[in-house]
Chain A
């Protein structure tokens, strides 16, 4: 059986360098540190969980969760990111979708998906040279209602099951949940950052209490974390791959200049009450 050997949460965006002073540099250092830690785990596959940012889906696309099935991903190229293809694993993706479907969880297979910054920046943190195949799992947080934390957590469990039951022996998988934390985009509250919300998420996950967040409703998240805060479903899915595991904060900075609470964590395998 394969195994999840590490799980991380991280912001998936930074804004123009120098516009957030030392705090911005600490965030970037934190991202580099997460990349270093992922590489140290020698993964064979990376599952990167992100939202789509309207570069693939349309408003109203009736897909809550999808997985990009390709052996080579061609980035969209937003944020002036490189568009060089990077490795994927179509068989892994299709197998995961089938495994989820067998458990009555609808995980759509995405053909010709072009990853945006939400997948590409975390991939770059780990490094293109490493060449580790990436399986993008895409949430649609633009949907109304947005994907629930409970469903995200459940899909995390299915990812774990799939790796442990269906993948080859000794395969090492690292999962990275991306996005968040609190931010309000293109709404009157834009610019607000809610550290209380951000730290509640970080503390619950690093203390192995992810399940305590599953009762949060979309309305609560919108009120306390903003419409961008809905991306915490990506972190909950990540934590759901390693339920009960404890970890540590790698970085956190509330950055009003970037209108976002920027955070990164690592969860350690075989810690806490890992099931």
Chain B
């Protein structure tokens, strides 16, 4: 697996494995330390902004979902929570 594939694989697993996602949310550096990544990649993943993720070569779609896991503000912004009750009332009466 190439270095970039390792990065994409990690992002995929963060979303496929709730326990890993919870650990990552609590201590991202500790999770990244256990991954077969270079120090440079870990630094960019910890920085976590789009510029850093782009420098890693991460696919834009993977950047989006990584950001949702890495950045609570992003997860709060891309959320349906405030609409759900309203939509359900409109749809279900």
List residues of A whose CB falls within 8 A of some B CB.
13-19, 28, 31-32, 35-36, 39, 53-55, 58-60, 78-82, 117, 121, 124-130, 142, 185-187, 190, 227
Contact = CB atoms under 8 A, between A and B. Distances in A.
Contact of B59 (A14, A18, A59): A59
A54 B65 contact: yes
B7 to A, nearest CB: 9
Interface in B44-58: 50, 53-54
A128 B92 CA distance: 7
A18 B82 contact: yes
Contacts of B15: 54-55, 78
Interface stretch (B25-33, B34-42, B83-91): B83-91
B91 A14 contact: no
Interface string B57-73: 00111111101100000
A178 to B, nearest CB: 14
Contacts, number: 99
A31 B88 CA distance: 12
B65 A16 contact: no
A78 B78 CA distance: 9
Contact of A53 (B50, B64, B67, B81): B64
Interface range, B side:
20 to 34
Main secondary structure of the interface of A (DSSP, over half): loop
B27 to A, nearest CB: 22
Contacts of A127: 88, 91-92
Nearest to A51: B61
B92 A32 contact: no
A121 B80 contact: yes
Nearest to B54: A186
B91 A130 contact: yes
Interface string B1-42: 000010011011001000000000000000000000000000
Nearest to B60: A186
